[in-house]
Structure 1
Amino acid sequence: MNQLPLTVRRSIELLGLFLLGALIIIGKAVIMPLIIAFFVSIVLLPVHRFLIQRRVPETAAIILSILLMMLSGFVVIWFFSSQISKLLADFPQIKRTILLHIHQLSDWLVERTHFSTQQQLQFFHEQNAKILNSVGGLLGGAAVSVSSVFMLLGLMPIYVFLLLFYKNLLVRFVFLWFPPQNHDQVEEAMYETETIIKSYLIGLMIQIAFIVVILGGILQILGVPHALLIGIILAFLNLIPYVGIFAGTLIGVLVILASSEELLPIVELIVVVIVVHFVDQNILRPRVVGSKVKINAFSSIVGVVIGSHLAGIAGMFLSLPIIAILKLIFERTEMFYQWSVLLGDERPDDSPMRKPELRIKPGDDPVD
């Protein structure tokens, strides 16, 4: 490969990226559950190893690890559904509050614009008809999404079980791809990949708990309606880098508008979100996630956008750990090293236009 002309090698790289993206789009229904199961199995490895060290049979250790995962998932679902049920119990009050806000908005439009109440009603009925016409398509898409979620939940324990059960076979398969002289590098890369995935995902779990407890608790003390539900929504949307915190805040504002006639809770929400997000990003995240996931902001945002287009919400959540693993692999390959530089956060202090040593890869001889 290194003997090929540079233009040919770069063309092969770009073609490979294109084919990889096409493969993910075509097979995302199969590929994404496998990637999620792989990440979950990595997180469950410490539990599995702990049980094996206690002389628990391997099959039983895997099953107990999966049961622990499922129990944790059921607790999260129960807690979230309990908050949703409280929101639904307040539906009569929510309906009255929404109608009040609509009337206030209508009066404001009458005062500030030339639209009368009748014109507003006509516009509302026209938009309502368009919405009703598209309900069938939306329900069909929702049915497909629900069926996909249930299929994912059904396959996930099976995938995780098989990945843990055949982990030694899979590791041997990876080693057989490389010549013996490169096995030390392969082993190092595999250990670092495991560390990156565990530190990232476990760190995100700690972040979720922190945001739910601190943000939800502060909002609860301040008397903001449905404070814990808002905290849960913000905690999970915060997993989407850079975009999630804004989307979660917007949903929280909408929940408050639907539940309260006052605007003070919205101000309280925004202030608390800013403070908690600052603490999370500058104090908590660097410690719980660690310095393993070194990806620059530009690559992170582009990765989230590409991940959402390739694999939807799952692609957005998994974009950062996947990019971190790719960066780790690229750092150890001479042919793809430049891609690791593009993804990393090691910004040169000076311009390569003025310092020629910044133009070459580590280990290469400078050209006189």
Structure 2
Amino acid sequence: MSTLPVTVRRAIELMGLYFLGMIIIVGKNILAPIIMAFFLSLMLLPIYRFLVRRKVPETLSIVIALLVMIVIAGLLIWFFSSQISRLVSDFPQIKQNVQAHISTLGQWIQDKTGFSTAQQIKLINEQNDKVLNYAGSALGGAASSISGVLVFFGLLPIYIFLMLFYKNLLLRFIFLWFPPENHAKVEDVMREIEVIIKSYLGGLLIQISYITVLLGGILLLFGIKHAILIGAIFAILNLIPYIGALVGNIIGVLLTISSTQEIAPIFIVLGTIAFVQFLDNNILMPRIVGSKVKINALATIIGVFVAGALAGVSGMFLSLPVIAVLKIIFDRTNNLKQWGVILGDERPARSPMEWPVFRLGNRKVQEKIKRENNIEPVTKEEKKEES
């Protein structure tokens, strides 16, 4: 590969990206649960290793780790079902509030545009058939989506069990792809991926918890109905970078509008979300997850949209950890270093147009740029974590 001309290597890389995208599009329903199972199996490794060190049989250790995950998932489902049942019980009041808001909006439109309420109703009635047709197709799509979700979560425990059970076999398979002289680098990459993913996903679990408690608690103090549900929905959607926060704001506003006829609570919800998001982005999350791998905002946004186009909502949720894994691999591969640079947030202090040293990709230059950006290296203790 290194003897090929640069243009040929770049062409092969672009062709590889194209075929990778096609594989993801065709096999997204197969790949999504496998990737999710891989990340969750890394999260369950500490429990599995703890039990194995206590002389618990390997199969039983995996089963216990899976049971812990299933119990946590069950508690989350119970929490959301209880919150949604409260929302459903308030449906008569929600209907009155929505009708009041629609009347107010209709009167405002009439005052500003002269478009009478009767004309507005006529326009709405003309769109009923289109709406009903769209709703029918949407319900059909929702039914298939629900079945897909059930299959997705049904396969997860099976994949996780098999990945943990055949962990050593999978590791040997990876090593056999590379010549012996590269095995040390391959080991370094795999250990770093494990450390980064566990740190990132563990941080996300903590993030969901404290955003739900903090946002929901503040909204409760202001007397906002369904405060905990708003906090939980925003916390989960916030896992999708940038886009999730916007959707979470919209859902929070819609839930608030449906639960009150006043306008002030809407601004309270928006202000509280902005305050909690500021704390999360600038104070809490950086301390929890750390800065071992930084992904720049441009790569994050593009990655979310590309992953959404290729694999739907599950792709959006998985986009950031996948990008982090790819960056670790690219940074350790001589022929793919430039892709690691474009994904990262290690900005040179000066322009490479004026300082040719920043055009180089050697270790000294990379370490200098990381120091400028306060990137924390993975410690030796983390690299030597028991496998």
| Shorter-chain TM band | over 0.9
Q: 1:251 matched to which residue of 2? A: 251
Q: 1:277 matched to which residue of 2? A: 277
**Which amino acid counterpart does residue 76 of structure 2 have in structure 1?**
V
Measured after TM superposition, the shift of residue 363 of structure 1 is: 6.0
Measured after TM superposition, the shift of residue 350 of structure 1 is: 1.0
Q: What does 1:139-158 correspond to in 2, within 5 Å? A: 139-158=139-158
8 Å Cα contact 1:200/1:293 also seen in 2? no
* C-alpha distance after superposition, 1:66-106 (max 9, x if no partner): 01101100100110110100000000000000001111111
Q: 1:83 matched to which residue of 2? A: 83
For residues 117 and 355 of structure 1, what CA distance do their matches in structure 2 show?
Answer: 66
Q: 1:197 matched to which residue of 2? A: 197
2:333 is equivalent to residue 333 of structure 1: yes
* C-alpha distance after superposition, 1:260-282 (max 9, x if no partner): 01111111111111111111111
For residues 136 and 121 of structure 1, what CA distance do their matches in structure 2 show?
Answer: 22
Measured after TM superposition, the shift of residue 127 of structure 1 is: 1.8
Coordinate RMSD, CA, aligned: 1.2
Measured after TM superposition, the shift of residue 40 of structure 1 is: 0.6
Q: 1:267 matched to which residue of 2? A: 267
For residues 104 and 23 of structure 1, what CA distance do their matches in structure 2 show?
Answer: 51
Q: 1:235 matched to which residue of 2? A: 235
Q: 2:378 matched to which residue of 1? A: none
Q: What does 1:95-174 correspond to in 2, within 5 Å? A: 95-174=95-174
2:26 is equivalent to residue 29 of structure 1: no
**Which amino acid counterpart does residue 75 of structure 2 have in structure 1?**
V
Q: 2:358 matched to which residue of 1? A: 358
For residues 293 and 33 of structure 1, what CA distance do their matches in structure 2 show?
Answer: 24
TM-score (norm 1): 0.97
Q: 2:371 matched to which residue of 1? A: none
For residues 33 and 208 of structure 1, what CA distance do their matches in structure 2 show?
Answer: 21
For residues 292 and 32 of structure 1, what CA distance do their matches in structure 2 show?
Answer: 25
| Change in CA separation of 1:71 and 1:162 when aligned onto 2, cut-off 3 Å | same
Measured after TM superposition, the shift of residue 133 of structure 1 is: 1.4
8 Å Cα contact 1:48/1:65 also seen in 2? yes
* C-alpha distance after superposition, 1:132-182 (max 9, x if no partner): 112221111011101011111211110000000000000010111111111
TM-score (norm 2): 0.93
For residues 21 and 241 of structure 1, what CA distance do their matches in structure 2 show?
Answer: 21
| Change in CA separation of 1:101 and 1:194 when aligned onto 2, cut-off 3 Å | same
For residues 105 and 178 of structure 1, what CA distance do their matches in structure 2 show?
Answer: 66
8 Å Cα contact 2:97/2:258 also seen in 1? yes
For residues 27 and 97 of structure 1, what CA distance do their matches in structure 2 show?
Answer: 45
Q: Which moved more, 1:203-212 or 1:238-247?
A: 238-247
**Which amino acid counterpart does residue 268 of structure 1 have in structure 2?**
I
Q: 1:41 matched to which residue of 2? A: 41
8 Å Cα contact 1:52/1:58 also seen in 2? yes
For residues 363 and 348 of structure 2, what CA distance do their matches in structure 1 show?
Answer: 18
**Which amino acid counterpart does residue 80 of structure 1 have in structure 2?**
F
Measured after TM superposition, the shift of residue 14 of structure 1 is: 0.3
For residues 149 and 292 of structure 1, what CA distance do their matches in structure 2 show?
Answer: 33
8 Å Cα contact 2:33/2:153 also seen in 1? no
Measured after TM superposition, the shift of residue 364 of structure 1 is: 10
Structure 2: 5+ residue stretches without partners: 366-387
For residues 25 and 262 of structure 2, what CA distance do their matches in structure 1 show?
Answer: 46
For residues 24 and 321 of structure 2, what CA distance do their matches in structure 1 show?
Answer: 16
Q: 2:347 matched to which residue of 1? A: 347
What percentage of aligned pairs have identical amino acids?
Answer: 55
For residues 292 and 80 of structure 2, what CA distance do their matches in structure 1 show?
Answer: 31
Measured after TM superposition, the shift of residue 313 of structure 1 is: 0.9
2:12 is equivalent to residue 12 of structure 1: yes
8 Å Cα contact 1:293/1:321 also seen in 2? no
Q: 1:293 matched to which residue of 2? A: 293
Structure 2 residue matching 1:8: 3-state secondary structure: helix
**Which amino acid counterpart does residue 258 of structure 1 have in structure 2?**
S
Structure 1: 5+ residue stretches without partners: none
For residues 111 and 314 of structure 2, what CA distance do their matches in structure 1 show?
Answer: 45
* C-alpha distance after superposition, 1:266-319 (max 9, x if no partner): 111111111111111111111111112311111111111111101111111111
